Structure formats: C-alpha cells, structure tokens
Chain A
Amino acid sequence: MKHTTAFLAFIAVLIPQTSHAETSDADARGLEIATQADERDRGWRFQSSDMEMILRNRAGKESRRKISTRQFEVEDDGDKTLSLFHEPRDVRGTAMLTFSHGLEPDDQWLYLPAIKRVKRISSRNRSGPFMGSEFAFEDLSSQELDKYQYRYLRDEACGRYQCYVIQRIPRYENSGYTRQIVWLDQEEFRSIKIEYYDRKNELLKTLDFSDYQEYPGGFWRADRMEMTNHQTGKSTTLLWFNYDFETPLKSGDFNKNALKRLL
C-alpha cells in the first residue's frame, strides 16, 4: 500500500499538467501525500513518552517545563492523550486529558491537584499558547487528516532529505493560522519543517524537527522540536525522552477519573 501511493505520487510528477487542471491536481496530490504520511503513522495503538519544554524569551532567558504523556490511538477519530505535569513545581500533579477530534472541537479536561477537581477547558480556543510556550494547542494535538485542506506545492531538498512541500489550510474553526507549509521527507513521510502563517498571512512561526528515531513497527519520532516565533523573537524547544510503544495502555485508562490517579 505504502509503495503504491509513493508510486502514484511519482507518476503524478511525470504526467504533464495542464494549467486548467493544475489546481485540482495539486490539491489531489497534496491530499495524497498527507494521506500517505497519515497512514505511515497508523497502528501504533499506544505510546508514552516524557517531554521537556524549554521556553526562551527574546533576551535568551530560559524556563523549563516537564510533562509526561500517554497516548491512545483511536480509529477514525482523534487520539486520546493524557498529560501529567511535573514542572514547574506549582503545577506538579496537574493532569490534562484530551480527546481530539477531526473538525469538531477537542474535548479537554484539566485536573487541578490543589483543589482536587477536574475542570473542563473551554475548547474553542485551541489557538492559544500551551503553558506560555510558542506551541499552540493546535500545534500539539493529533493531526487528523480531515483537519486540513491540502495542496502539493513542490519537491525540494530539506537538509539531508528530499522533501515534498505541501500547504495545508485549517478546516476547523478558531485556528490562529491561515495556512501552514509542511516539509515531509520523501522516504519516510516524516515532518521535517512546518511554517505557520498568521491571520494576516505573514510567517509567524517555524517548527523544525530533528533527531528522528525509529521505533518498533516503523514509527518515527523526533527527539527534538524547535519552534521559533519570528515576530516576537521568542522560541520553545521540545525534547522527547523515553518513547515507549511496548507497555500496554487501555482505552479505559483515558477518562476523567483516571486524571486524579496519575501521580
């Protein structure tokens, strides 16, 4: 299957395109590539990992956050994610549960240990910053295929890879972006770089993925993600550790009640 799509994509390059059909062809090809990337990352079922977030302001001052996450793959809908905050100290034990969906707003709950209560988060606002970082919720939540409208732009070298460059336009409401440009390497369809364009269609941020590792089942994960805000000069680095695709997790582990029992 995987080879068929690549083959089709390959064929698409060879077929001379008339300007009349160019737009729809580019759209189809963009979707094709995105679908391929999506399919490559299917079937991991569950995973867990630790993440360190390094926030930097324009002056270079740094601040760190530590979070561990567990994810559960859901067929035909967004994934379920549990995040447990370790640092900063004041929010230690705070846990977040996210049910992401395609076009529908995500469902999201936050457990606050200080009051031992679970609170629902206003879900419309997934464009806001995650824990004061340069990552928005929408950058971190699971990237369902139908969240965007795609268009193939070009092929291009990207670092040591050869990349497909596609544009995607958010189809869900309340996004902070007009469009994103994604660089996917042609061999493994891993995201290499994403550019985010704000409401006035100006380049807002760039996300660079690096230090990819392959995990059992052929799943690739970047150990390092670097988000740079070009407008404010702030940046955030995400470092991922301890990826685990082996320890089994159940769907039942992902519910509101589980939030309180995490720590």
Chain B
Amino acid sequence: MDRFTLAWGRWVTRYRATTIALSLLLTLAIASGGQFLTFTNDYRVFFGSENAHLQAFEELQEIFSKNDNALIVLAPRDGKVFTPDTLGAIADATERAWLTPFSIRVDSVTNFQHTTASGDDLEVAPLVEGITNLTDDDLSRIKTAALSEPALISRLISPDAGITAINITVELPGIDEETENPKVATAVRDLRDYIEATYPDIDVYLTGIVMMNQAFQEAAMSDTTQLIPVALVIILLMVFLQLRGFTGTLGSFIVIVLSVIAAMGTAGWMGIRLTPPSMSAPTIILTLAVADCVHILSNWLQKVRDGLGNQEAMAESIRINFSPVLLTSITTAIGFLSLNFSDSPPFHDLGNISAVGVMFAWLFSTTLLPALVTLLPAKPRQGRSLITEMMIRLGDWVIERRRILIPTVSLVIVALVLVIPRNELNDVFVRYFDDRIEFRPHTDFVVENLTGMYFIDYALDSGESGGISDPGYLVQVEQFSNWLTEQPEVIHVSTLTDVFKRVNRSMHGDDPNWYRLPEQRDMAAQYLLLYEMSLPYGLDLNNQIDVEKQRIRLSATLETLSTAQTLAFEQRSYNWMEEHTPALLTIAASPPIMFSHIGMRNIVSMLGGTTFALIAISLLMIAALRSWRFGLLTLIPNLAPAAMAFGLWGLVDGEVGLGLSVVAAMTLGIVVDDTIHFMTKYLRARRDQGLDAIAAVRYSFATVGVALWTTTLALAAGFLVISTSAFSVNAEMGFLVAVVVVLALVVDFLLLPGLLIRFDHLLWRGKGSHAAQSHLT
C-alpha cells in the first residue's frame, strides 16, 4: 500500500502538466452534464411516485379535476369590499385572471353564480353585474348574499367583508415542467402589479399552490446565488488562516470548485432536478472538500519544513494521507448514500450529489492539488504555531483530568439522550420558507385574515352511477360536512350539498325554509341538471362531481396545523365516518396529509438508513483499524454527537421535520472522520513507536489536533452558512449538522482520549502493544 501511494504521489508531482490537464478534461466532460440541470417547481417532488398518499391525491385529481391554484387576495385599505370601486376592481381583475396561462377556472365574489327565483324560474347569474349602476340597495343585497353564502365565506370573502380573493385554478400540462409554473406565477404577479397600479387603495397578496411551487424554486435559487459564494469565501479564509500560504489556498480553491462542478455535472447526467434540499449539496461538498486539502497541505508544509524537497515532501504527504483521506471520504460518502433510504426523493439527490462530490474531492486533492501547489515553491512558516501549542496543552489537560472528564462527559451524553423524546415530529410546509421568500409573509397574511392554506379532500363515493342525487347519500354527506364545519380547525367546507340546498330554495321562490336537501332522488338529479345547464364556461361543477355522478369531492380548508394535529384530525375524521357514515368512509387526500405522513415515514426509513450507515461504517473502521475492539470503541464518539445534538434540539426547539430526519445518517459519515484521524495517529504511536497509552494520546493531540480543530471549524462554518438558508428544511439541517460536528470534536477531544487510557488493558488484551501495523499509517 505504501509503495503504491508513494508512487501515486511521485507520479502526480512529476507529471504535473498531464495531471492538471487530465483533471481539467475530466471535469469539463462531466460538467457538460450541467446543461441538463433544471430547478424543480413542484412540491410533489418531495414524494416518491410510489408514495401512497401522493397516489391517492393524484387519483382524486384525475376523478375530478386538478386544483392547483393561485390565490390573489385583495385587501382594500378602507376595509370595505362591497363598494362600487372595490367591486369594480374585483370584476376587472377577475376578467383579466382568465388570461392566466393554463387557467381553467376563475372564482371570485363578482362572478359567483348566484341563484335566485325569478317568478317560477331559476335565475343563475353572476352575483355582481353592471357595476356602474349599482345602488346602495344593490350593494347591501350583494353583501348579504355573499356573507350568507357558505361557498364564499372564509374562502373568497372574510366574515367582516374586509378582504376578498380571486382564486385561479390552473391545470399545468406537465409537458415542459421547467417553464409552466413560472409562467403562471409571472402572469399572476403581473396581474398583481396591474391591480396595485390601477387601484392604489387596494393591497394585493399572493398565495396558493402555484406560488408555493414557485417559492420552492426561488428558495433553491437563492441558496445557490447567496449561500454558495458566502460559504466559499468563509472556507477559503479559514484555509488561508490555517496554511498562511497563497499557493495552498489557491490550490484548495480550485479543488473545491472543481469537486462541486463535477458533482453538479454528474447530477445533470443523472437527470436530477434541483430542489432546495439538493441545492445545499454544493455548500456541503465545498465544506467537506476542504478537509482533504487541509490534511494533505499541512503534512506537505511540515515535510518541507523538515527539509524535504518540494515534490518529495508532497509525495511523502500523499503517502501518509492517501489512506486516511480515502477512508474518510468513503465513510462520508456512505453516510450521504444512506439518504437513499429516505422517503423523500430530494434527499436521495442531496445524498447522491454530495457523495459523488466527496469522492471527486478525494480524487482531486490527491492528484490535481499536489500537481498544482508544487508548481510554486512552498514557503512554510517556521516553528510551532500558537494553536499547536494550545492543542498539546489541551491534550495534557485532558489526560490529567480524565478521571473527571469521563464521568462528566458521559453524564452529559446520557442526559441529552434522555431528552431526545422531547422532540416532536412537525412539518408545516407553508412555514418551509422564511420571510425573505415572498410566499411566506403573503401566506401568513392570508391565513390570518381570510382563509387557510391547508385543505383536505374527501372523494365521497355513493356506490352507484348517478348516486350523488340519492337523498340517503346526500343526508350522510351533509352530516359529514356539518361535522367538519363544527371542528375547531376547520375554516371552510366546500360541499355540493350546499349547492343542492341553494337550488332547492330558489326553486321554491327563495323561501329560506326550503334551504334543505331535495327529498327525492329524481328531483335532486333534475334540479342539478337544471342548475348545471345554467352555469357558464369555467364555473361548472366538474371539479366537485365525477363524470358518473357517483362521487362528490368534499373539501375542507383548515388552519395551519402541526403534523400531529393534522394526523389527529385525519384520524378523527375517519373515526367519525366509521361511526356515523360508514358507507362514505374514504381516504383523505391532500398536500398537508402527504407532508404529515412523510415526516413520520421518513423518520422510520431514515432509522433504517442510519443503521445501514452505522453498520457499514463500523465494519470499515474495524477493518481499517485492524481491531474489532477499537472499531467498536469508535461507536461511542461516532454515535454520541448526533444523539447529543438531538437532545439539545429537544431542549431548544423540539420540532423535527423532513430536514432533521436525515441529519443522523448524514453526520455519521462526517463525524467518523475525526475519530479516524485521531485513532490512526494513536495506533501508529502505540504500534510503531511503542509508546504507552498516555504518550500516544499526547502524540495524537500534537499531530492531528490542529487539523481536527481547523476542519471542524470549517465544517461548522460551512453548515452554519446553510443554516441561514431561506428554506427552513435546509436551515435546520445545516444548524443541527454544525452542532453535531462541534459535539463530535468535543467527544473526540474530551472523552475518547480518556477512554483509550482507561480501557487500555481491555483494548490491548491478548495482544502486545506492537500489534500488526495498521495500514493506515
């Protein structure tokens, strides 16, 4: 192994031009895959195509119609919707909303199809017509009608008549996914600009699925344009401070950038669509790539200081670092690959891109980096740095206080593990974005003042074609919708029974006593036929009734709920149906249901992923350290950091969503690097140099202490940059990973050395201290 790595090191430093050219060519070839990269703008990417809840929702949309929407909310400054000016603005905006690309339906207070009795006939007409001639009487009649209309109240008009909305339903063809949603969003924003310019006394807010999808894309792009450059600058600054050399910093910069480019190019070739989670991959890669560079460059500088020639020192550094850097890269990659266990495909992408990037970082830092930096003469600083001194002193302190440190640190670990259960699963997808993404403040306003963003759909099956007119069925639907309406979480229920009642009333001269369901099946069917025949283009009932007239889509709008509340509500609705309307019992489908279930499913599947990573990494450790005892010992410093971090999270925040559920598996591969470096040096001291446990620990602190300190700082800084993402899934993940890597260093510095000394007799039992030499050193 040594001969091979030495040859490797000599080759790349001798044939520098070839090495550099080959690296650049390889990168160029792979980077060309970048042309296939596109940003996704569909929240559905968070669910695999196999996801049962997504399938249920898609099925429901196929039976009825899609209800992807953009909601334009109008808030007149005088707080009065029912004035000629505001109604005029709504009518104008409604008319223009029909021009939105892919729109199939536009609903507003003005075009609401109001039914009245006109003599013996049923008059169906827009609620607001002929705005220029509206009298005060007309206005108050319209207001009364709107506020007493269940289809409108708390959906398109606030109960205080102060805020109103225009709902645009779109059906995206899904042919050119990259451009479709942005087209709609742009048109809707243009319409907003038009309204604000034409009617300066009206404030406009935009929300809905289309705007949320757009927010996903915008969050991913903002991470790309804002976080990556910041992370790059911070990391390079840290490399510069560590190496105090321009050459090394420049070399690292090139390695880092090429690793990211190669990884993203691979993503392009793999056909990955970029999502906010996968867009943290570049930052992660550049953060991790720097560790490889630091290890190789610091040993190179050290060897030069020791008097070796520039290239020879590099070949020597490659010999020493080749295996540990390869091993840490592999373990890190394994950690990331275990994200494939996730239920949410964007995390597969994040894991795969990062894993690929980490391996490229290894490749470039053992080829391109040596070739590049040896082009210029090395100018190492002389003497030990202050930080090296501090590391040695820290080592002495840890050795001295180990009898206190072992129980203290262990106690802290146990205490933090015990509070892990304080964490609660919670994925509130409308809060995935912070206020920097327009969607969030607008949605907050709408949720606070008008209606909810959460909805749950039930496709209620009557069991036979035409059965929706069956009075027995209708009564059950009415009972269920009444029950839903009574629930404290429910803001609005959209149900066809309200239409039946409204038409029935109008068929009886608008007599309020007839606001009830028709009592005969044929009568109900014929009323419905008459009503449907009176509806204009785009305002039909096909979004609520299937073609066979067998199923009704009941849609409940809810307050923004936590995962637990959503799941509880879902279950409660099943229980109620089971008890009262068992014939109707059906699965609830909607994005909130999907997001609520995926959080739980993802945690369960990521437990599998973490276990996989743990076993794979531990086996690698045992093989690499050539000792199952030491391999098993590393379980403590490898597992404790994530466990402690989740304990801390339980104390501080306590809400675990999609982003955090992948942290344990992901960090396992990263934190293990510290252990590998520390243990490798320790074992080398014991096995090669015949030092005792205490001296070997001291040696470890002196040789890798600074490198571990620096790489941890760099990692923490990189992930803290991610924690400033406007996308909370990334932000929380970045923050927790930063906490984990810091805790890993704490455990490796404060607990591991003590354990190595305290259990020395057990660890070496049956073996001389000159056991087989680890191939790592």
Q: Contacts A88-B465, A88-B466, A121-B530; is A61 near B546 (CB within 8 Å)?
A: yes
Interface residues of B in 506-544 (CB under 8 A from A): 507, 520-527, 529-530, 532-542
B460 interfacial by beta-carbon distance below 8 Å: no
Complex Cα gap A136–B536 (Å): 9
Residues in B neighbouring A61, C-beta threshold 8 A: 63, 546-548
- Residues of chain B within 8 A (CB-CB) of A96 are 533
A59 at the interface (CB under 8 A from B): yes
**Segment at the B interface, from A16-24, A25-33, A34-42, A107-115:** A107-115
Q: Does A214 make an interface contact (CB < 8 A)?
A: no
Q: Please provide the chain A residues from 125 to 158 with a CB less than 8 Å away from any CB of chain B in the complex.
A: 125, 127-132, 136-137
Asked whether any CB of chain A lies closer than 8 Å to the CB of B121, the reply is: yes
Cβ B547 vs Cβ A56 within 8 A: yes
CB-CB under 8 A for A63 and B124, given A112-B526, A113-B522, A128-B533: no
B525, A90: Cβ atoms under 8 Å?
Answer: yes
Closest beta carbon of chain B to A120's beta carbon, Å: 4
- Residue of A with least CB distance to B106: A199
**Do residues B529 and A200 form an inter-chain contact, with CB atoms below 8 A?**
no
Beta-carbon nearest neighbor of A136 in chain B: B537
Chain A interface size, as a band, is 35 or more
> What residues on A are CB-neighbors of B526 within 8 Å?
90-91, 94, 112-115
- Number of B residues, CB within 8 Å of A: 50
Closest 4 CB pairs of A and B: A176-B537, A90-B525, A127-B537, A114-B523
With both beta carbons as reference points, the residue of chain B lying nearest to A111 in the complex is identified as B526
Alpha-carbon distance between A16 and B95 when the two chains are bound, in angstroms: 42
Q: Does B99 contact A (CB under 8 A)?
A: yes
List 17 extra interface pairs beyond A110-B529, A125-B537, A131-B533, CB under 8 A: A56-B547, A57-B547, A58-B62, A61-B63, A61-B546, A61-B547, A62-B548, A85-B529, A90-B469, A90-B524, A119-B120, A129-B532, A129-B540, A176-B537, A199-B99, A202-B101, A231-B173
Produce 1/0 per residue, A149-182, CB < 8 A to B. Answer: 0000000000000000000000000101000000
**Contacting residue for B532 out of A92, A108, A113, A128, CB 8 A:** A128
A128 touches B540 (CB 8 A): yes
> 1/0 per residue B95-108: CB within 8 Å of A?
00011111110000
Using Cβ atoms and an 8 Å threshold, which residues of chain A touch B469?
Answer: 90
State A120–B120 Cα separation when bound (angstroms): 8
Q: Are B547 and A234 in contact (CB under 8 A)?
A: yes
- A232 lies within 8 A of chain B by Cβ: yes
> A89 within 8 Å of B by Cβ?
yes
Q: Name the residue on A nearest B119 (C-beta).
A: A120
B536 and A94 contacting across the interface, CB-CB below 8 Å: no
Question: A55-B547, A90-B521, A122-B123 are known contacts. Are A127 and B536 too (CB-CB below 8 A)?
Answer: yes
Q: Please name all residues of chain A whose beta carbon is closer than 8 Å to the beta carbon of B63 when the two chains form the complex.
A: 57, 59, 61
B466 pairs with A199, CB closer than 8 A: no
Bound form: Cα–Cα A171–B403 in Å: 94
Chain A positions 69 through 95: 1 when the CB is less than 8 Å from some CB of chain B, otherwise 0: 000000000000000010011111010
Instruction: Say whether A114 contacts B522, CB under 8 Å.
Output: yes
A117 to B121, CA, bound (A): 10
| Interface membership of B171, Cβ < 8 A | yes
Q: Which residues of A contact B527 (CB under 8 A)?
A: 112
The reply on B604 being an interface residue by CB < 8 A is no
- Is B59 among interface residues, defined by CB-CB distance under 8 A? yes
Nearest CB of A to B406, in Å: 64
Interface pair A125/B534, CB less than 8 Å apart = yes
Q: Mark B8-28, 1 if CB is under 8 A from A, else 0.
A: 000000000000000000000
Question: CA separation between A122 and B546, bound complex, in Å?
Answer: 24
Contacts of A122 in B (CB 8 A): 122-125, 534
Contact status of A200 and B100, CB under 8 A, knowing A55-B547, A59-B62, A63-B465: yes
Q: Contact between A128 and B123 (Cβ–Cβ < 8 Å)?
A: no
CB pair B532–A131 under 8 Å, yes or no, is yes
Q: Which residues of B contact A90 (CB under 8 A)?
A: 466, 469, 521-522, 524-526
Known pairs A113-B522, A119-B120, A119-B122; A88 contacts B549 (CB<8 A): yes
Q: How near does chain B come to A206, taking the closest CB pair, in angstroms? A: 15
Chain A residues with CB below 8 A from B521, complex form = 90
Query: Which residues from chain A contact B123 at a C-beta distance below 8 Å?
Result: 122
